[in-house]
Amino acid sequence: DGLSTMGPSELAGCEALQSRQYQSSSRDPVHVVRFGDGGGLISYQKPAGEFLHTLNTASGMHRKLRALGIPT
């Protein structure tokens, strides 16, 4: 089903990376971890607490965040 019990910062593998939660046009809360190269991880938190993670290039990250109504 593609869902994970690991949170976004844990999955990114670096405690120094911060995950920010946003309310968006998505029905699920969205967590964002930004990488230094402009890319990052967008994670959708499902009602049971599991996450659906998407890894994005810089251009993909920008496009998806804009589509979700999240500041880039």
Cβ neighbours of 65 (radius 10 Å): 20
User: Using 50, 70 and 90 to split pLDDT, how confident is the model at 13?
Assistant: confident
Contact 39, 61 (CB under 8 A): yes
Q: Give tens-digit pLDDT for 30-57.
A: 999 998 899 999 999 999 999 999 999 9
* Every domain of the chain and the residues it spans: 8-68
Q: Which residues pair with 30 in a beta bridge?
A: 22, 44
Q: Angle at Cα 50 formed by Cα 44 and Cα 55, nearest 5°?
A: 45
Q: What is the pLDDT of residue 18?
A: 67
Backbone angles phi, psi at 13, to 5 degrees: 80, 15
Check whether 22 has a pLDDT greater than 90.
Answer: no
Backbone angles phi, psi at 29, to 5 degrees: -60, 145
Q: What is the pLDDT of residue 9?
A: 82
